[in-house]
Chain A
Amino acid sequence: MRRPRQSLQMLGSLLAALAIAALAIAVVTAHFGPTSTAKLEAREERLEK
């Protein structure tokens, strides 16, 4: 297999890093759920009042 041009390799490896970062953000934020903790706490406080 012939290696792609160096500029393409650079672009590809940087895009891979960006994809890894985006995947990590997606997985962790999905774990948190759609509502932030601050909003949940504020809602709990309102309900308590």
Chain B
Amino acid sequence: MEDLIEELTRGNVTEVKVVLATVVLALAIYQLLLAAVAYGWLRLPFLEAGTASWTHRASGDAIVVLTILVATACLSYYGFEEGGAHALFGTILLGVLALKVFVVRVGGRLSRLLPLLGVSVLALFGLTWWTSAGDFLGVG
């Protein structure tokens, strides 16, 4: 697996990981805006709540795929043991993200938890990025 990742990234594992993680964080911030429109907390003259909700789902699917790719590269190439705070935040992030996807699928009364889960996922994306990509880019 390690060789495959190195080959796919042409030896630039960290750089590719940093780029993908930054894309995920940027899209996660956009998700917050879309969720605010979808819940009616923010009213925009050019975007309806239903459409914002649809885009939130579509963009969220892309985020999940990218997150799994980054996590796979991270765990198989760097391992877990020496990850420190980054590994801890990353693990909690994957757990909360999985819980959010589960709540979205199940629906019902659990849906009330979605705003809290969404904000938690965004905060965890921020912390996970800050403790790895942020460090690498000199801003963490």
Tell yes or no: B27 within 8 A of A by CB: yes
Q: A45 vs B10: C-alpha distance in the bound complex, in angstroms? A: 17
Q: A14 vs B27: C-alpha distance in the bound complex, in angstroms? A: 11
* Total residue contacts A-B, CB cutoff 8 A: 69
**Range of interface residues on chain A?**
20 to 34
Which residues of B have CB within 8 Å of A20? 26-27, 30
Q: A31 vs B19: C-alpha distance in the bound complex, in angstroms? A: 10
Q: A31 vs B18: C-alpha distance in the bound complex, in angstroms? A: 11
Q: A17-B27, A37-B15, A38-B12 are in contact. Are A28 and B51 (CB under 8 A)?
A: no
Which residues of A have CB within 8 Å of B50? 6
Which residues of B have CB within 8 Å of A10? 51, 54-55
